Amino acid sequence: MAMIPLGAPQLRFRRFSAALGGAIQGVFDGTQFILGPRVEAFEEDFATYLGVRHCIGVNSGTDALILALRSLGIGAGDEVITVSMSFTATAMAVLHAGAQPRFVDVDPVTRCMDLAQVEAAVTSRTVAILPVHLHGYPMDMPRLMALAERHRLAVVEDCAQAHGARIDGRVVGSWGHLGAFSFYPTKNLGCPGDGGAVVTGDPALAARVRALRTYGWFDEQRVSAELALNSRLDELQAAVLSALLPHLDEGNHERALLAARYRTLLEGVDVGLPSYHPGRVSPIRDLCPTT
């Protein structure tokens, strides 16, 4: 019996090995290895790709979530509405920030947060909503943002599984107050190590994330003004990510074609396939009609 691996990031690294080799050599030819010019260039490239003003490279998707929540001042006594139908890091990030996750279920069709349950889960302690764009499947962000605005709640998008997924032509990560990405090797945009990013349109939140990823240093004086992390993206990972970013949409399209092929070949087989809704959004949905 042939085993189908869950992921094979090495294939992508091999496919672009010439460009990646050059990018990596460039790091060795330079003098800065952490938070240098390649991290800055990638932050700019990724922000441009997403259409957001600020991108801050960090050590992982988990740290991106923690730092996004911390930048909002979320902590003890606060509740964050999120889903348990996610990778464990989503709820852990809320706990690391000192707050309590309040779980709502997902919609069985979209597998994203059920908006009707969110409304009912809001309490006087709720400060934020943390939706997850699961399996490349984007949450209905226009409706979620309207709900959040009504209740004056912050929104942090967990985009770790949905780089490049779009809602009404607008990519995930650009809807909420902040977005958190993982560049773990198997992700749609993945590096050969750990990596992550926080994105936001708010310069004050961006400045807070930048300080909190580097020991709480808010200025050149390097005074640790707040309990913070060492969570920095390194030059090697940034160089690879910049070389792979131009291929993200094409890679997503290939995945969509493969998903469509699975769907065709599995027709009539008694297995539960994800359902797709027309209209919104992911590249996969565009190719797969509603089932």
Ligand X SMILES: Cc1ncc(COP(=O)(O)O)c(C=O)c1O
Residues that bind ligand X in the complex, under the rule CB under 6 A: 60-62, 86-87, 89-90, 132, 158, 160-161, 182, 184, 194, 196
Cα 131 from Cα 173, distance rounded (Å): 11
Least Å distance, CB 87 to ligand X, is 3
CB of 149 or CB of 209, closer to ligand X: 209
CB of 134 or CB of 154, closer to ligand X: 134
Task: Tally helices (H) and strands (E) across the chain.
Answer: 11, 9
CB of 96 or CB of 218, closer to ligand X: 96
**According to DSSP H, which parts of 97-175 are helical?**
115-121, 141-151
Report the residue number whose CB is nearest to ligand X: 61
Least Å distance, CB 223 to ligand X, is 28
CB of 92 or CB of 122, closer to ligand X: 92
CB of 162 or CB of 243, closer to ligand X: 162
Please give the C-alpha separations between residue 226 and each of 73, 155, 212, 244, 261, in angstroms, as whole numbers.
Answer: 11, 23, 8, 35, 51
The structure tokens listed for 18 are 């010439």
Cα 155 from Cα 134, distance rounded (Å): 16
Least Å distance, CB 263 to ligand X, is 23
Cα 251 from Cα 7, distance rounded (Å): 13
Q: What's the order of all strands across the beta sheet hosting 196-200?
A: 54-58, 196-200, 178-182, 154-158, 126-130, 79-83, 100-104
Least Å distance, CB 280 to ligand X, is 19
Least Å distance, CB 111 to ligand X, is 12
Least Å distance, CB 269 to ligand X, is 27
DSSP string, 22-86: HHHHHHHHSS--BSSHHHHHHHHHHHHHHT-SEEEEES-HHHHHHHHHHHTT--TT-EEEEESSS
Amino acid at 182: S
CB of 126 or CB of 182, closer to ligand X: 182
CB of 182 or CB of 188, closer to ligand X: 182
Least Å distance, CB 24 to ligand X, is 20
